[in-house]
Structure 1
Amino acid sequence: MDVNQLKQERQADLKAVYSGKVPKRVPIHLSFAFEASVSYAIDQGIVEKGKNLRNIYWEPETWYDIFDRVNNDFYSDIPLGPGAIRLPILYQILEAKSIIMGATGVMQHPEVHSLEPEEYDAFIEDPFFYMSETLMPRLYPALDTTPGRRAMVLAQAVKANADQFAVIGQMMGKIAAKYGYPAAPSGRSTAPFDYLADFLRSFTGISKDMRRYPDKVVQACDALVPLMLREGVPNPDSLPPDYRVMIPLHMGSFINEKQFEKFYWPSFKKLMDGLVAPGAGVDLFVEDNWMRHMDYLKTFNGSVKMQFEYGDPKLVKEKLSGTRHVITGFFPISLLQFGSAQEVKDKAKELIDILAPGGGYIFGFDKGLFSLEGNTIKNLHVLTDFVRDYGVYR
């Protein structure tokens, strides 16, 4: 098929899905993490022998060949790109404590905190100022210096990070044109309670604070909403067409319903309403199992794509029926590694039969694919061939 024709068909199917209409077939999204793509490229001899993930992070001149090969060898209706990548150059310049590189090269988020309980009031009064002046130097020790030096270090880190993301943008533009993918401009944000838990108070700290300082937690989450809005949509008056904001949801599965209703939901709903209002789409990664919170998720405005890790596909389909929200996820990547070809096809058929009727469904994994070990590569080809043939609306 001609590349332009393929692009038009993919674009029409995705537009139908997000507008509440039935597409010609179920779109496929194979979400490869940067780590999986690099691993595959090394196995295929695309990069120099002896290189590994730790090297490749620092060699952006190799990235196009890596992702060109991945997109050539595996079928997806959405580009196989680096995904929600964290580039180490930013964190190493800042000497980060919040994001560090593990022994294998994977960027990890350890249990750290920067905000002390007695500092809630100062933070709530002006969260941007307090983070800039007090909290960031604790998380990023290279900023714990004189104001002039701090500005220079921050400018260096931001510039280096922006330069590498510019390489990614140019690379993915070429790949989209070559393989017939629709343009997919995107941003990223964080639910306020998740941000408070992950980077300011830590999992342990926020678990205590909900009991000891409940009102402060609520006020801190509300104070974070404008910052999280600005992160997701920096220029609400000039959004690119089809712009979407990725938000990974973290803490919701670790708290009970009363805590969710009091601490998590109000600020999260404000963030979601603020992102959708200027026309942005939102892609949620619903980490772990959120089935007990489905009555909240179904109330979002607009068309929100939700990638579910665990839970009951039938319940999700029932709860989101009648909305314009889009379901994806649920297919276990562990089955690709350890399952047979028949088991892979059977699971894909089960999910399509449940989630595809009436539209509003993109076939996808339960989480990003980090490893291609075991049967994964062979089963990926079996999977995409089956979904393309079976996922047709008749």
Structure 2
Amino acid sequence: MDAAALYREKLDRLEAVIQGKEPDRVPVTAMMSLFHTHYSGYTATEAIFDPAKNKEAALKVVRDFDFDSLLVLTGLEATFMSLSLLHSAPELVPGARFLEGPYHDILKDVYTKWPGRELADDSHPQFIGKEIMKVEEYGEFSEDPSEFLNRVALPRICGALSEPGSPEAIAALARYGSALATSGAAMGELVSEFAACGIPTFPMAFAYSPLDVIGDFLRNINNVVLDCYRHPDEVKQAAEALVPLLIESAKLTGTIPPEVQQALGTNVVECFFPLHLNEYLNPKLYDEFYWPYLRQVFEAVIEMGQTPYVFFEGRHDAHLKTLLDLPKGKLVGVFDKTDPRKVRDVLGDHVILSSGPPNSLLIGGTPQKVDDFMKNLLDDCKEGGLMIYPGVDGGISGDAKPENVRAVLDAVKKYGTY
């Protein structure tokens, strides 16, 4: 089969599941940060800071593993940056959504640590987090979140921007803009190379849960949970103030030029959401402080015609029923620690289910154990549509055994047909 026919076959398979149909077989959608680098013999530092090596490693994986789609993501969360640029430099927002290693060198942010910099050469980059906003600043933030991010938060987050308007800060922003352009060009080239190998890519918009913006980038997780008890009104006002910004982010990043959609061959636009605080909140707190504001963003994104692609990180068991508030079949859910069988029991086919083997199995298991896991998962959950996400707890680990990753693909072809 030539690359164009293979591309169409894989794209049809993915679109069918997203549209609530059963394709010829269950598709495998992979994400990785370091698996491709280790598989190709590179260190984390080499792939993260050298686009040519990252591309070479990614293409080797594409040619050696029959995934239906692949996302190579070497960056860390940076919604603080994309929201800061939303009004002042909207053209930079799509590239600013993730913090790449070279951006860290330029901005000198306090949130992250990187291989070859603060960490050993072959370490995974780490998001540390930090208290940036003081509790007494909630009111100022809620009055104008964008202004607060730019005037108060960014100088505290990025050492290179600590003196706004200074020659050093202006130079750092110029270098950052140049790095975004370089990275964007490299990503576009990689998507084109994937297509030439028969691997489709969906356009991706970006949003976030309002309370996670506060917890991840402003107050840190421990503080924001305490704030829900000690300063409930201030937390709610801040979350509500973020809703329109996050909807605007989804609209901006999800407005895809017609020529790009035509080249990709699809009208599907996925909107990426990572959920972080869900595991830390009991149902009462979740229903009061988290879900009402996230629901507003979900509903707006769905109304735009985008498909929320949501990482339900940690255990989401206690909050599953809230998803019944959303229109049926309009959200893709990747569930980290929640058993997909429980998701099916509670939600049926109300969400588009994505699941797969955990990294503990891909790292420490055997191909036979992977085959057994996959057979049970597919037998129990494939009816009604399912996507397999290998390394469901964060994407395929850099330490995963290649033979176990291949076993996932082999099992889908054996047990995942309709």
What TM-score do the two structures reach when normalised by structure 1? 0.91
Partner of 1:182: 200
Partner of 1:94: 107
Query: 5+ residue gaps in structure 2?
Result: 77-98, 262-266
Following superposition, the deviation at residue 328 of structure 1 comes to: 0.9
Following superposition, the deviation at residue 320 of structure 1 comes to: 2.6
Residue identity matched to 2:334: Q
Following superposition, the deviation at residue 82 of structure 1 comes to: 3.1
Following superposition, the deviation at residue 312 of structure 1 comes to: 2.5
SS of 1:289's partner is: coil
2:160 counterpart of 1:142: yes
Asked if structure 2 preserves the Cα contact closer than 8 Å seen for 1:113 and 1:200, the reply is yes
Partner of 1:307: 334
SS of 1:57's partner is: helix
2:222 counterpart of 1:204: yes
Following superposition, the deviation at residue 389 of structure 1 comes to: 2.3
2:269 counterpart of 1:243: yes
SS of 1:282's partner is: strand
Asked if structure 2 preserves the Cα contact closer than 8 Å seen for 1:81 and 1:172, the reply is no
SS of 1:76's partner is: coil
Residue identity matched to 2:37: V
Following superposition, the deviation at residue 169 of structure 1 comes to: 1.9
Partner of 1:8: 8
Following superposition, the deviation at residue 298 of structure 1 comes to: 3.1
What is the aligned counterpart of 2:251 among 225, 230, 233? 233
Residue identity matched to 1:89: P
Cα deviation 1:252-279 (Å, max 9, x = unaligned)? 1111010001110111011111212111
- CA separation in 1, counterparts of 2:234 and 2:279? 21
What is the aligned counterpart of 1:382 among 404, 407, 418? 407
Asked if structure 1 preserves the Cα contact closer than 8 Å seen for 2:254 and 2:269, the reply is no
Partner of 2:343: 316
What is the aligned counterpart of 1:369 among 396, 405, 408? 396
For residues 64-213 of structure 1, the aligned pairs below 5 Å read 64-82=55-73, 86-101=99-114, 102-104=118-120, 105-147=123-165, 149=167, 150-177=169-196, 179-213=197-231
Following superposition, the deviation at residue 121 of structure 1 comes to: 0.8
For residues 14-53 of structure 1, the aligned pairs below 5 Å read 14-33=14-33, 35-42=34-41, 52-53=43-44
Cα deviation 1:50-103 (Å, max 9, x = unaligned)? xx2223322212222111111111121012533665411112211100222251
- Are residues 132 and 206 of structure 1, via their aligned partners in 2, closer, same or farther at CA, if it must alter by over 3 Å? same
Which 10-residue stretch deviates more, 147-156 or 218-227?
Answer: 147-156
Which 10-residue stretch deviates more, 344-353 or 138-147?
Answer: 138-147
For residues 342-353 of structure 1, the aligned pairs below 5 Å read 342-353=368-379
- Are residues 237 and 246 of structure 1, via their aligned partners in 2, closer, same or farther at CA, if it must alter by over 3 Å? closer
Cα deviation 1:341-362 (Å, max 9, x = unaligned)? 2211111011111111122x10
Following superposition, the deviation at residue 206 of structure 1 comes to: 0.7
- CA separation in 2, counterparts of 1:322 and 1:388? 22
- Are residues 387 and 237 of structure 1, via their aligned partners in 2, closer, same or farther at CA, if it must alter by over 3 Å? closer
SS of 2:252's partner is: coil
Cα deviation 1:291-339 (Å, max 9, x = unaligned)? 110001233235211111112322211333253x211124222112222
- CA separation in 1, counterparts of 2:111 and 2:412? 39
Following superposition, the deviation at residue 372 of structure 1 comes to: 3.0
- CA separation in 2, counterparts of 1:213 and 1:15? 44
Following superposition, the deviation at residue 161 of structure 1 comes to: 2.4
What is the aligned counterpart of 1:284 among 310, 334, 340? 310
- CA separation in 2, counterparts of 1:236 and 1:311? 29
- Are residues 87 and 237 of structure 1, via their aligned partners in 2, closer, same or farther at CA, if it must alter by over 3 Å? closer
CA RMSD of aligned residues (A): 1.9
Cα deviation 1:4-58 (Å, max 9, x = unaligned)? 222222122112111111111101123222x22111111xxxx6xxxx2223322
